[in-house]
Amino acid sequence: MGSLDSNPASFDAFAAEADGFQPLNAEDVRSYLHKSVDFIYDYYKSVESLPVLPDVEPGYLSRLLQSAPPSAAAPFDIAMKEVREAVVPGMTHWASPNFFAFFPATNSAAAIAGELIASAMNTVGFTWQANPAATEMEVLALDWLAQLLRLPESFMMNRTSAGRGTGGGVILGTTSEAMLVTLVAARDAALRRMGSNGVAGIARLTVYAADQTHSTFFKACRLAGFDPANIRSMPTGPDTDYGLDPSKLLEVMQADVDAGLVPTYICATVGTTSSNAVDPVGAVADVAARFNAWVHVDAAYAGSACICPEFRHHLDGVERVDSISMSPHKWLMTCLDCTCLWVRDAHRLTDSLETNPEYLKNDASDSGTVTDLKDMQVGVGRRFRGLKLWMVMRTYGSTRLQEHIRSDVAMAKLFEEWVRADDRFEVVVPRNFALVCFRVKPHAGMTEEETEAANRELMERLNRTGKAYLAHTVIGGKFVLRFAVGSSLQEERHVRSAWELIRKKTTEIMSGEMSV
């Protein structure tokens, strides 16, 4: 039994009153949602003052809430009270303007509204027929975003558009899923080319990515059954700013071919999680072409920046890759989850992913004139995610979306300048987007271990204040602080406050003051 768990006696009347339970009664829906909107309004107004990282111990929630499900109904206000009193105090507030960790999960009024409407309509658009509007809105939103990114036309034509290209797109939940489905398509195509009997040849297939690639890529390879020994994590270094070196890639792939292996897939990242490194997309595609290997571009975070002409060059060569994914839930103000995947030849995906059970058969699918998006993802069920993405573009237009990206980058640049102007610090790798990787630099004969300890101490002291939250990484053996600008409520004053706090805590540490 937790401490917030008892229903006041007045509930008995409430619980007894029910006469035919109507879970979607329109009056209740409106009432519950109005209360939720009030909560959200208050939350956004106050989140700045809440500790970004909560001071709770594992198991804290089960000590506050009841451990067994109630049998009686309770007014919605009770759930809201428990959210306020038990959930909020244990939250890491990604919406806080003082959040600088990981990558921001940017969001917007239009996106939340789109998600709300989709939740209420609650359709399951696995086939076109199961919700034509959802499929077509998803295709339209992907085509709009592809235009903003200036992706080649070949990626853009789903079968429901005029023109009937071979390309196609789909909205998935995570980049990991985008990697997995393209890995499986590439795997199956390679096995077919080898004339493999079933999966017998799978142990000969090889995949490649820079060592800076997100760990989820290496996990997706294992999920798809690639041999752990054949998953090549290519070393990178400061000479390429931690981007993949195409000449080394060529060497390794050729050596694999010489050893009787079959290069199958390369993942190139535009904007790595660790440091925002950029693999050279065009050069990677050129190497891959020699071996008929699939190239996927993971632009989860930095893809959003490529809607600005000044960042678009990071995608140069994309017309020669097989697939690209990016996540508007990271930096395009679209609440979770929304990862966009485009492929040049949708049939290569559907060849591996199509199912056709009797209970989903229908004339539209049989006609071949529509895309059933279930055949481009892991599962069957799917939410109406296209709505929120379309609403973001429809409401803000490309001008404001670009303005938003540029404003974040300008704030990061300012922070970078402050770091450079204080000789206790160093910027460890060049800043490409809105992430600054920096650290307290070794001084007065400090060893690398002592430098790491000082930076760890700085991070921990900062995060304990509740006034800023940032995370770390390790680049080239160095322990580095990641300062990611862009939380949607963030303004320059928050970046400035965080910087002042960093300076203050650094001074404390250097003068040997104890942590408070």
Per CB under 8 A, which of residues 297..336 are in contact with its own copies? Answer: 327, 329, 333, 335-336
List 51, 98, 107, 495, residue binding its own copies (CB under 8 A): 107
Tokens linked to 297: 């571009």
Q: How many residues bind its own copies (CB under 8 A)?
A: 173
Looking at residues 364 to 423 of the shown chain, list those that interact with its own copies (rule: CB under 8 A).
Answer: 364, 367, 369-370, 378-383, 387, 390-391, 393-400, 403-404, 407
The amino acid occupying position 195 is G
What does DSSP assign to residue 469?
A: B
482 neighbors 473 (Cβ within 8 angstroms): yes
State how far the alpha carbon of 505 is from the alpha carbons of 53, 97, 421, 474, in Å.
17, 20, 17, 21
Query: Is 123 an interacting residue with respect to its own copies (CB under 8 A)?
Result: yes
From the list 345, 347, 374, the residue with the least C-alpha distance to 362 is 374
Give the distance, in angstroms, between the CA of residue 481 and the centroid of all CA atoms in the same chain.
20
- Considering only 182, 323, 455, 488, the residue that binds its own copies (CB under 8 A) is 488
Residue 219 engages its own copies in binding (rule: CB under 8 A): yes
Residue 190's CB is within 10 A of a number of other CB atoms, namely 22
Element (H, E) at 339: strand 339-343
Q: Give kind and range of the element (H or E) at residue 482.
A: strand 478-484
Chosen residue from 51, 52, 115, 454 binding its own copies by CB under 8 A: 115
Nearest-approach distance from CB 499 to its own copies, in angstroms: 20
Q: Smaller CB distance to its own copies: residue 125 or 243?
A: 125
Establish if 1 lies at the interface with its own copies (CB under 8 A).
no
- Residue 436 and residue 415 in contact, taking contact as beta carbons nearer than 8 Å: yes
Please, which residue, 114 or 317, has the CB nearer to its own copies? Answer: 114
Q: By CB under 8 A, is residue 151 in contact with its own copies?
A: no
**Interacting residues with its own copies between 423 and 462 (CB under 8 A):** none
Q: Is 294 left (phi over 0), alpha (psi -120 to 50) or beta?
A: beta
The interface region with its own copies, picked from 262-270, 287-295, 356-364, 421-429 by CB under 8 A, is 356-364
**Which listed residue (3, 6, 49, 215) binds its own copies by CB under 8 A?**
215
122 near its own copies, rule: CB under 8 A? yes
Q: Which of 51, 151, 169, 174 binds its own copies (CB under 8 A)?
A: 174
φ and ψ of 340, to 5 deg: -95, 130
Q: Please report, as residue ranges, which positions from 269 to 298 form the binding site for its own copies (by CB under 8 A).
A: 273-274
CB contact burial 101-115 (16+ within 10 A = b; e otherwise): bbbbbbbbebbbbbb
Asked if 145 is part of the footprint of its own copies (rule: CB under 8 A), the reply reads yes
Q: How far apart are CA 335 and CA 298, in angstroms?
A: 19
d(CA 114, CA 340): 16
List 76, 310, 420, 476, residue binding its own copies (CB under 8 A): 76
Find out whether 304 and 332 touch, Cβ atoms under 8 Å. Answer: yes
Is the Cβ of residue 148 or residue 453 nearer to its own copies in the bound state? 148
Cβ atoms of 272 and 480 closer than 8 Å: no
8 scored as a contact of its own copies (CB under 8 A): no
Which of 1, 6, 12, 41 is in the footprint of its own copies by CB under 8 A?
41
Nearer of residues 395 and 497 to its own copies, judged by Cβ: 395
Q: Does 472 bind its own copies (CB under 8 A)?
A: yes
Closer by beta carbon to its own copies, 356 or else 507: 356
**Does 44 sit near its own copies (CB under 8 A)?**
yes
3-state secondary structure of 488: coil
DSSP codes of every residue in 230-297: GEEEE---GGGTT---HHHHHHHHHHHHHTT-EEEEEEEEBS-TTT--B--HHHHHHHHHHHT-EEEE
Shortest distance in whole angstroms from residue 376 CB to its own copies: 12
Question: Does 36 participate in binding its own copies (rule CB under 8 A)?
Answer: yes
Separation CA 246–CA 255 (nearest Å): 14
The residues carrying an active-site annotation are: 359
C-alpha dihedral (304, 497, 419, 410), degrees to nearest 10: 30
Instruction: Out of 48, 50, 116, 152, point to the residue binding its own copies (CB under 8 A).
Output: 116
501 makes contact with its own copies (CB under 8 A): no
Q: Does 499 bind its own copies (CB under 8 A)?
A: no
- Residue 254 Cβ, how far from its own copies at the closest point, in Å? 22
CA–CA dist 319, 344 (Å, integer): 9
- CA–CA gap between residue 118 and residue 106 (Å, rounded): 19
- Of positions 144, 152, 233, 424, contacts its own copies by CB under 8 A: 144
Residue 124 sits in the site that holds its own copies (CB under 8 A): yes
Instruction: Output 139 or 189, the one with its CB closest to its own copies.
Output: 139
* Using rule CB under 8 A, residue 267 touches its own copies: no
Tokens for 366? 């049989």
Q: Which stretch binds its own copies (CB under 8 A): 79-87, 291-299, 308-316, 416-424?
A: 79-87
Minimum distance of its own copies from residue 401's CB (angstroms)? 9
**Residue 53 sits in the site that holds its own copies (CB under 8 A):** yes
Q: Which of 195, 260, 309, 357 binds its own copies (CB under 8 A)?
A: 357
With tokens 């995370």, the residue in question is 471
Q: Which stretch binds its own copies (CB under 8 A): 67-75, 261-269, 287-295, 417-425?
A: 67-75
- Nearest distance from C-beta of residue 304 to its own copies, angstroms: 13
